[in-house]
Amino acid sequence: MVTTDTFKRGFYKGITTFFELSKILVPVYIGVQLLSISGILNIIADFCTPIMSVFGLPGEASLVLILGYFSGGYAALGAMAVIKLTGVQITTLAIMVSIAHSLITEGAVIRKLGVSTMASITLRLLFSFVMGFLYNFIFG
């Protein structure tokens, strides 16, 4: 049964989560928007277009992957909001970032477990690329 206390706790946790996510999403969104306005995003996109086309993605999506691989999924979401993408492209990026996200942070955790960090990162990136390619091949 939902009581006023349950509602208050849920509301407080929801607001807290909103502000925590905003600390990541808003600065990344603004940063990518500034890159777009300044033309730097176009330079990055032109350079990365041949590589990203293998996954059916525009060159701008390379920034989403870099942010996702090193910062995490929320940073990737902030960058995705600025770039015009189709549903298939968004799903491709989501698959790739889900497989290999927060590589530095999780690499430290992997090292503590006694597993080779480089082997783990290499394997996750490899599977990320393979799944991005396969998803684009099947649905793109």
Please check the confidence at residue 29 and state whether its pLDDT lies above 80: no
Please check the confidence at residue 1 and state whether its pLDDT lies above 80: no
62-89 tens-digit pLDDT: 989 988 998 888 889 888 988 899 999 9
Instruction: Tell me what pLDDT residue 72 has.
Output: 84
In the chain, where the domains are located: 4-139
Quickly state the pLDDT bin for 116 (edges 50, 70, 90). very high
Q: Alpha-carbon distance 140 to 133, whole Å?
A: 9
Give the other-Cβ count within 10 Å of 102's Cβ: 18
Please check the confidence at residue 129 and state whether its pLDDT lies above 90: yes
Q: Of 122, 68, 105, 106, give the one whose Cα is nearest residue 90.
A: 68
Spatial contact of 76 and 102, defined as CB atoms under 8 Å apart: no
